[in-house]
Structure 1
Amino acid sequence: MRLTKIVTLFTGLFVLSSAASAEHHKEGQEASPKLVVAISVDQFSSDLFSEYRSTFRHGMKRLAGGAVFPSGYQAHAATETCPGHATIMTGSHPGRAGIIANNWIDLRVARDDKTVYCAEDERVEGTSFGAITAATQGPYIASAWHLLVPTLGERLKATSPQSRNVAVAGKDRSALMMGGTDVDAVYWWKRKGFATLSDREVGPPIAALNARIADYIDQARAPYPVPDHCAARNNQIVVSDNQSVGTYDFRRPEGTARIFRGSPDFDKVTIEAAMALIDSMKLGQGEVTDVLSVGLAATDYIGHAFGTGGLEMCIQMAQLDRNLGLLFEHLDAAGMDYVAVLTADHGGHDLPERLRLQGVPDAERIDPNLNAKFVGKQVKDILKDSSDVPVLHADSPFGDYYVSLDLPAERRAEVKKIAMMMFAEHPQVEAVFDHDMLSALPMPKGPPEEWTMAERTRASFHPDRSGDFIVLLKKAVTPIASGGPGYVATHGSPWDYDRQVPILFWHKDLAHFEQPLSVRTVDIAPTLAALIGVEIPADEIDGKCLDIDGGKANSCER
């Protein structure tokens, strides 16, 4: 049963109206920033931040001059886009937020395709999961309906209705998970421009931007310049007979708009959309605080298509730095008081073919038979079941596995027991966890790097949505059986290369400091909430406020 999202109205808060603003200016207190800018760079791992930090000259350099937590964690095991974005502005682990993965199986839905996308509303008649990944991106309704907890922007609006909660991103799941359901404007990329919710019209500023994009997206693209520090990464890595990576400079021939997303251009237009919304809605220029969430997706598409260790990612890091610089320059020119935070929804791992050349001899691709279809058939053979009905369902080789509801209870228990044993015995599998065992575990606390595999899994487990059992792969196993164009490397593991992300706060009055001990992305929302006077009851979230003042004052006690 779906839980009902409740946005709690708090009493005794610093409501950001004129009257409350006067109260907020008591001695020793500072005015709240007028704009919160929360930036998520999809697949921007702590490894990437560390590798390229010395090369940053623009926006990333500014952020690295604020409060720097290089050892941030998306602490859960399901390190995918949707769960990661759900943590950033809610302060809740995916298990509390209900966003257990990008996709999961719901054998109770009425449609034939039982796979559910995290950012769709499958209750709408005629929706199809298959349409989400189709070239037409057809009949599915993008929605934050599955998000069971309020975002910071929603909490702010509950206490200060004049505040605006706005989100824009390269992916719908990024915008919706950071913005929530109560949004004043929300946009994401679809086909060749930015789209919004099905019951809204694209506003004139975004429509104008879409028109400009349409004028050039199919045109040929000149190569990006290769920074000097990227020369050492310009090495060809052969993935298969028809695929190699490591030397691409993002030049595009005419008529190849389909690969636009996998280039630095994609982040640039997302930044342009954010700036258009800032200007048209006058965000951060009123009497109350506004929230703008920005999801930059190019790093993720590039990481999947080319890996994280080659020329392509090196160019992308330089351009990400420049594009963020454009955003901050735009905000500075408007003269507003804003606080910015940058993090990532998850990290990432390079492709195994390159890792094996760089000191990771055990890096490998997944056994193509490690999946629900093959293992399910083996289970059926053991049980002498000759029917054509599948007994196991899963969206990917790892993560949540579901036993068919069409089987009698006793047979379901047999299938589950045998399947769990078969997965556990596979040499590429690290652990297999039972649904009931995870249900009995409390949500983990303490340093996330010390969490057990079961605790990491519990953080992204929801009893009504997670599988009958969950499979975790061993370290350095890439869950792509054979790499091909656009998909040679990925993420999603419980290992720190996928969990660890930077968390960077910047405000004009923040003194620079660096804290190397671990913090979590669920700590971001309560940290920002303290800066803007929004009280979040501790029992409603999993994060805690971080004191980012850097001096004797405590930013959590404003």
Structure 2
Amino acid sequence: MRLFRFIAVLLIVGYSHQVEAQRKSKNGPPEQIAPTIGTAPKLVVGIVVDQMRYDYLTRFWEHYGQGGFKRLVNDGFNCRNNHFNYAPTSTGPGHASVYTGTTPSTHGIIGNHWYDKVLDEEIYCASDDTYQSLGTESEAGKMSPHRMQVTTITDQLRLHTQTRGKVIAVALKDRGAVLPGGHMANAAYWFHGSGEGHWISSSFYMDDLPQWVKDYNLSDAVAQYKKPWTTFKDKGSYVESVLDNNAYEGLFQGENAPIFPHDLVALWDANEQFDILKSTAYGNSITTDFALAALVAEDLGADTITDFLAVSFSSTDYVGHMYGVDSKEVQDTYLRLDRDLERLLNSLDKEVGANEYSVFLTADHGAVQVPSYLKDKKIPAGYMEYEDIKSTFDTFLKYTYGTTDIVKHFSNYQFFLDHKIIENLDLEVGQVQERIAKELLTYDAVYQVYTADQMRQNQYTRGIPYILQNGYNQKRSGDILVVLKPGFIKYPKTGSTHGTPQIYDTHVPLLFYGKGFKKGSTVKRTEIPDIAPTLAVLLGIAFPNGTTGTPLEMVLD
């Protein structure tokens, strides 16, 4: 009897819920309850921290304040196993992949520079001589995103809103602003140092700089950072880093040792004046200052039509390249960046509203620890320069093919062959690729080698070949792809670099915070191309037209 009553109650409850869900209108069929579609944020802020390894979050955690990285992690969603799923892992491809939702195999930005097989010359990912510099007489403003072959999430926002939603992109590096801004940005601004210290742009976006940018450049907003670079906290508390004076770090011109404080005033003229600021923690503060000025001057997030502010912090990369992953300079740069993020979030609270904006933070690549440091710690590591193998390699080419000209170019760990010479020698391209690949595999620093034929003919789903294939563009990439051993790099003996498919270059942070995002974390693997489609779902707009990533359902509220 009790069981009968229990079943009856369930049926009644279920029926009442069904009636509630399908309320009858007076003159028609049951009224269907529409699924809830959340209101889009007034502003999306995309943050890319150049060369940020994931472990910078954890390594410096105890030094961070409550309002920067900790606010994003504790009150947002942390994807702890986030990776680039392609190589080369460098700045141009990184920014393009974050914003297009796909990889170089589709968007075409296969490096910062690459050899153009049609033009027979090396080209830069953002250069465009058909446009003019704005804000400088130099060539530094002749840029556009024309080499990026698909749309970005920022393009899709502009298309969706009939260009009513604004897109502004800001970075010290031109490529860090041009590529995230996409093809339809209202403006992209980057920093030109030298003797000027100005924020500049390209006539691709506008005919002249806005008055607020001109006024900003006339102010002392940048010049105030012409001062010694001292540590944010007591240097002795930076126990998470190696000794300040060591053999693994580079030097500014005129310095005798890579130690704090760095007297930027004394070093100014010997290091191209304002350019020196890029390689200090102050470069991120300069970027934050200008981004906040843009937020106010452009009225971003001022109405219900979603705007987008893309900010890339480039100084983390400059500092990492000069001083290395384990340096006190890197630690100080991240502690100061933490305070800049706090300033940015507090300003967003004030100008847009605490619950009216959405943020993501990620990186464009990671970085390797300095191999010379690793070697001293008895960890396998080392260096390889093309010049180191050139003599042996040239001898092989002459003996096998009668000429070294069969190889036209080497860049981004890729060899480009001269197909005309191969044809004249009555050889098959695929056979030449395979023969050269086998030779390269005999060299000590080389870990794996793949050919263009392998990239085209196979479908890899895991491991290094999967990562290489996602970075391989059939029209733009080379004939032979070389992977060095873990811990081996093609770089000087001081400082850190990146570019490989190894995990230290692929594992980077991915944080979501603000309107439309849950609080939490996951150790499930996520990949960089997942960011743009996740934002598209958040905003209710079309995916970028080359998207290969998947929306991250677990981060969406």
Q: Is 1:323 matched up with 2:340?
A: yes
Which of 480, 483, 487 lines up with 1:469 in the alignment? 480
Q: Is 1:60 matched up with 2:79?
A: no
Q: Is 1:454 matched up with 2:486?
A: no
The aligned amino acid for 1:452 is G
Q: Which residue in 1 is equivalent to 2:370?
A: 351
- What is the Cα deviation at residue 223 of structure 1? 1.9
The aligned amino acid for 2:327 is G
- What is the Cα deviation at residue 375 of structure 1? 6.1
Distance in 2, matches of 1:50 and 1:437, equals 39
Which of 81, 84, 90 lines up with 1:74 in the alignment? 84
Report how many residues are paired: 499
Which of 159, 179, 182 lines up with 1:180 in the alignment? 182
Q: Which residue in 1 is equivalent to 2:118?
A: 108
Q: Which residue in 1 is equivalent to 2:313?
A: 296
Moved more, 150-159 or 458-467: 150-159
Which of 213, 233, 237 lines up with 2:246 in the alignment? 237
Which of 211, 214, 219 lines up with 1:207 in the alignment? 214
The aligned amino acid for 2:246 is I
Summarize deviations over 1:341-386 as a string: whole Å, max 9, x none.
000000011212222344x521212245356x65663344214746
Q: Secondary structure at the match of 2:421?
A: coil
Distance in 2, matches of 1:240 and 1:289, equals 44
Summarize deviations over 1:189-222 as a string: whole Å, max 9, x none.
2222221113432222222332335872784425
Q: Which residue in 2 is equivalent to 1:391?
A: 406
Change (3 A) 1:473 1:188: same
- What is the Cα deviation at residue 267 of structure 1? 0.8
Q: Which residue in 2 is equivalent to 1:154?
A: 155
- What is the Cα deviation at residue 284 of structure 1? 0.8
Rg: which structure is higher?
Answer: 2
Change (3 A) 1:187 1:427: same
Question: What is the RMSD of the two structures over their aligned residues, measured on CA atoms?
Answer: 2.9
Q: Is 1:195 matched up with 2:210?
A: no
- What is the Cα deviation at residue 324 of structure 1? 0.8
Summarize deviations over 1:76-127 as a string: whole Å, max 9, x none.
12111111111111111121111111111113217xxx001111237x5999
Summarize deviations over 1:236-276 as a string: whole Å, max 9, x none.
22149989876344431342433210111111111111111
Distance in 2, matches of 1:245 and 1:547, equals 50
* TM alignment of 1:157-556, pairs within 5 A: 157-161=158-162, 162-191=164-193, 192-199=197-204, 200=206, 201-213=208-220, 216=223, 219-227=226-234, 229-231=237-239, 233=241, 235=243, 236-239=245-248, 247-254=259-266, 255=268, 256-336=273-353, 337-358=356-377, 360-367=378-385, 369-370=387-388, 374=391, 377-383=394-400, 385=402, 390-396=405-411, 398-409=412-423, 411=425, 413=429, 416-442=433-459, 451-480=462-491, 482-483=492-493, 488-507=495-514, 510-536=517-543, 540-548=546-554, 555=557
The aligned amino acid for 2:146 is W
Change (3 A) 1:154 1:375: farther
Distance in 1, matches of 2:159 and 2:392, equals 49
Contact 1:143 1:176 in 2 (8 A): yes
Moved more, 154-163 or 237-246: 237-246
Q: Which residue in 1 is equivalent to 2:97?
A: 87
- What is the Cα deviation at residue 468 of structure 1? 1.1
Distance in 2, matches of 1:338 and 1:241, equals 40
Change (3 A) 1:149 1:375: farther
Summarize deviations over 1:33-90 as a string: whole Å, max 9, x none.
1100000000001122221233221311111121011211111121111111111111
Contact 2:59 2:240 in 1 (8 A): no
Distance in 2, matches of 1:419 and 1:509, equals 52
Q: Secondary structure at the match of 1:233?
A: coil
Distance in 2, matches of 1:300 and 1:270, equals 14
Distance in 1, matches of 2:68 and 2:138, equals 33
Q: Which residue in 2 is equivalent to 1:17?
A: none
Q: Which residue in 2 is equivalent to 1:131?
A: none
Q: Which residue in 2 is equivalent to 1:42?
A: 50
Q: Which residue in 2 is equivalent to 1:8?
A: none
Distance in 2, matches of 1:38 and 1:318, equals 20
The aligned amino acid for 1:545 is P
Contact 1:431 1:472 in 2 (8 A): yes
For normalisation by structure 2, the TM-score amounts to 0.82
- What is the Cα deviation at residue 452 of structure 1? 1.9
Contact 1:224 1:250 in 2 (8 A): no
Contact 1:69 1:504 in 2 (8 A): yes
Summarize deviations over 1:438-463 as a string: whole Å, max 9, x none.
02234x66xxxxx2211110011110
Distance in 1, matches of 2:540 and 2:424, equals 54
Moved more, 508-517 or 526-535: 508-517
The aligned amino acid for 1:340 is V
Q: Secondary structure at the match of 2:529?
A: helix
- What is the Cα deviation at residue 418 of structure 1? 4.3
Summarize deviations over 1:391-428 as a string: whole Å, max 9, x none.
323353x5221012452415374764443222111111
Distance in 2, matches of 1:245 and 1:548, equals 48
Identity of aligned residues (%): 25
Contact 2:132 2:142 in 1 (8 A): no
Contact 2:169 2:189 in 1 (8 A): yes
The aligned amino acid for 1:369 is E
Contact 2:105 2:471 in 1 (8 A): yes
Distance in 2, matches of 1:85 and 1:493, equals 16
* Unpaired segments ≥5 residues, structure 2: 1-32
Distance in 2, matches of 1:384 and 1:410, equals 11
Contact 1:189 1:195 in 2 (8 A): yes
The aligned amino acid for 1:156 is L
Moved more, 56-65 or 206-215: 206-215
Change (3 A) 1:167 1:241: closer
